[in-house]
Amino acid sequence: MKEKIMKNLKYILRISGIGYRGEGVGRIDGFTFFIPGALQGEKVIVKAVKVNKNFAFGKLLDVVEPSPERVNPPCAVYKRCGGCQLQHMSYSAQLNFKKNRVRECLERIGKFEVTESSGENSLKLYDTLGMKNPYRYRNKVQLPVGRDESGLKIGFYANRSHDIIDMDSCLIQDESADRVVKSIRKWIEKYNVPVYDEKTGRGIIRHIMIRKAFVTGEIMVVIVTSVSEIPHKAEFIEALIQNIPHIVSIIQNINDRRTNVILGDKSVTLWGKDSISDYIGKFRFNISPMSFFQVNPLQTKILYRKVLEYAHLTGNEIVFDAYCGTGTISLFLSQKAKKVYGIEIVESAVENAGVNARENGIHNVKFISGKSEEIIPKLAEEGIKADVMVVDPPRKGCDAALLRSAASMSPRTIVYVSCDPATLARDLGILSNLGYRPEKVQPVDMFPQTAHVETIVSLQRKDM
């Protein structure tokens, strides 16, 4: 007789696998438990905190038999904070987990044969490219500000909630962010500045955003408020200038809407410059509060170099960069392409991309605003066809119409950059049916200590 799983009861089980969020997966009489913080192979004691018909979520109470890959998380609030999921896992195990996550999706969803070596009908999966130091890598942080009965709170939200976990330091952010938060915390407390309550819509200070340029060292601080007037504004500015070396920009962003969206539409420069500048490789980019810029600049350079490698450019190719954003990949491709066409639906991103190209003296790139699946056929009608296609879609993957448009142009190579292995596998299956053979898959660890993985895939036309 199968044991009936009951909420709030304790259970002992063996962890047989790892889920896509990095949680341990175990079973009791075929009934599945998902347990954050548990590692494969471990024997654990858990409490059932949410029980559904076929599965339950468990809270890890104790590890009876620990995995050799278990490490002590260096962050004091790791178990409560929702910012990281894998600090309890050795970094080598994290890299292997991300590789296996990509493999599992390619095999289960894409129906591909994945191997460690090249083969005519197989897909070669490489080891995940990791970091020498998998901490302090983020150049941007957005922290909600709130208050409860215990006092002022500045930190990340707890997992699956909007409860703010107060913290003095975040080990995946640049150290300068810690100093900024400390200064703002003192200013709020000293002058009793009202902080925002998302339940009532009252209060002024909603979020703090800090951006750090790793190459130039420039720092931008953005304070997000619900109203246009900041009490004790002069003291706020002075506190930052006196305490934060290399700060060059202090900006107020006004968001008066009852929404979970962090930034509002209006930004006002309170002190210094409107933007900061940084480099990826030899290319310089201006970064404003609203700009998209990869948050891990060290790994971004590795990612883009791999894209350039997989494109196999000789200087004679026409390249289309779909979902080009602010043009960062397009600029890298321009180094070895005859002409690059960057296509992006967000008009402001296209404007930023054009500025980035001009400021870097790049003249063989053209940016076009619109849907890629509509722009590509129009370019083909004008006699402009891609030899190489690069796609870097959002988490939901590529629009099916875009994949059909891309394949109809018959580029010799498609390079797919993905932030979600599941939608990647789905889209590779579609491209395979459209005449393209995935050959090489390279996971890149852009976000150490989290369950996210970036992946680059090289596809070749089957008739070549």
Topology (CATH level 3) of domain 140-287: OB fold (Dihydrolipoamide Acetyltransferase, E2P) (2.40.50)
Prediction pTM value = 0.92
Q: Please name the residue that has the structure tokens 């054009």.
A: 354
CB 243 within 8 A of CB 173: no
Bridge pairing between strands 151-157 and 164-166: antiparallel
Nearest to 137 by CA among 355, 423, 448, 421: 448
Residue 225's alpha-carbon distances to 128, 174, 185, 229, 298, in angstroms, are 40, 23, 15, 9, 32
Is residue 119 predicted with pLDDT exceeding 70? no
Separation CA 449–CA 437 (nearest Å): 32
Separation CA 131–CA 129 (nearest Å): 7
In which band, very low, low, confident or very high, does the pLDDT at 118 lie, cut at 50, 70 and 90?
Answer: low
Classify residue 133 by burial, with Cβ atoms within 10 Å: 0-12, 13-18, 19+. exposed
What is the pLDDT, as a whole number, of residue 122? 73
pLDDT in tens, 253-265: 999 998 889 999 9
Is residue 1 predicted with pLDDT exceeding 60? no
pLDDT in tens, 420-462: 999 999 999 999 999 999 999 999 999 999 999 999 999 999 8
Separation CA 99–CA 115 (nearest Å): 12
What is the pLDDT, as a whole number, of residue 213? 96
CB 299 within 8 A of CB 444: yes
Task: Classify domain 10-65 at the CATH superfamily level.
Answer: Nucleic acid-binding proteins (2.40.50.140)
Question: What does the DSSP assignment read for 88-108?
Answer: TB-HHHHHHHHHHHHHHHHHH
299 token code pair: 């790994």
What is the pLDDT, as a whole number, of residue 116? 79
Is residue 146 predicted with pLDDT exceeding 60? yes
406 Cβ partners below 8 Å, 6+ apart? 320, 322, 376, 386, 389, 391, 414, 431
Question: What does the DSSP assignment read for 276-318?
Answer: EEEEETTEEEEE-TT----S-HHHHHHHHHHHHHHHT--S--E
Bridge pairing between strands 436-444 and 247-254: unpaired
Q: What share of the chain is helix, strand, coil (3-state, %, to 5)?
A: 25, 35, 40
Options 81, 84, 398, 419, the catalytic residue? 419
Separation CA 44–CA 66 (nearest Å): 8
CB 328 within 8 A of CB 355: no
Domain ranges of the chain: 10-65, 96-132+296-461, 140-287
440 token code pair: 């090489």
Counted residue by residue, the chain has a size of: 464
Q: Which is more confidently placed, 172 or 122?
A: 172
Nearest to 15 by CA among 31, 32, 38: 38
Average pLDDT over residues 10-22: 94
Answer whether 10-65 and 140-287 agree in fold: yes
Q: Is residue 246 classed as helix, strand or coil in its secondary structure?
A: coil
Separation CA 192–CA 386 (nearest Å): 59
pLDDT in tens, 380-419: 999 999 999 999 999 999 999 999 999 999 999 999 999 9
Three-state secondary structure of 120-149: CCEEEECCCECCCCCCCCECEEEEEEEEEC
* Chain centroid to CA 117: 29
Is residue 363 predicted with pLDDT exceeding 60? yes
313 token code pair: 């450019």
pLDDT in tens, 178-202: 999 999 999 999 999 999 998 899 9
Determine the CATH number of domain 96-132+296-461. Answer: 3.40.50.150
Three-state secondary structure of 414-446: EEEEECCHHHHHHHHHHHHHCCEEEEEEEEECC
Is residue 335 predicted with pLDDT exceeding 70? yes
Is residue 58 predicted with pLDDT exceeding 60? yes
Separation CA 250–CA 255 (nearest Å): 16
CA dihedral (228, 234, 235, 240) positive or negative: positive
Is residue 142 predicted with pLDDT exceeding 90? yes
What is the pLDDT, as a whole number, of residue 331? 95
pLDDT in tens, 106-117: 999 999 999 876
Nearest to 397 by CA among 368, 426, 434: 426
What is the pLDDT, as a whole number, of residue 121? 62
What is the pLDDT, as a whole number, of residue 176? 95
Separation CA 86–CA 390 (nearest Å): 31
pLDDT in tens, 231-288: 999 999 999 999 999 999 999 999 999 888 999 999 999 999 999 999 999 999 989 8
Separation CA 288–CA 222 (nearest Å): 10
Average pLDDT over residues 197-212: 94
Q: Is residue 340 classed as helix, strand or coil in its secondary structure?
A: strand
Average pLDDT over residues 364-370: 96
What is the pLDDT, as a whole number, of residue 464? 67
φ, ψ of residue 293 in degrees (nearest 5):
-150, 130
What is the pLDDT, as a whole number, of residue 391? 96
What is the pLDDT, as a whole number, of residue 2? 63
| Catalytic status, residue 81 | no
Average pLDDT over residues 123-139: 96
Long-range pairs, 428-433, Cβ under 8 A, ≥24: 428/106, 428/110, 428/112, 428/457, 428/459, 429/109, 429/110, 429/111, 429/112, 430/400, 430/403, 431/403, 431/406, 431/407, 431/459, 432/110, 432/112
φ, ψ of residue 461 in degrees (nearest 5):
-65, 135
Nearest to 28 by CA among 46, 6, 12: 12
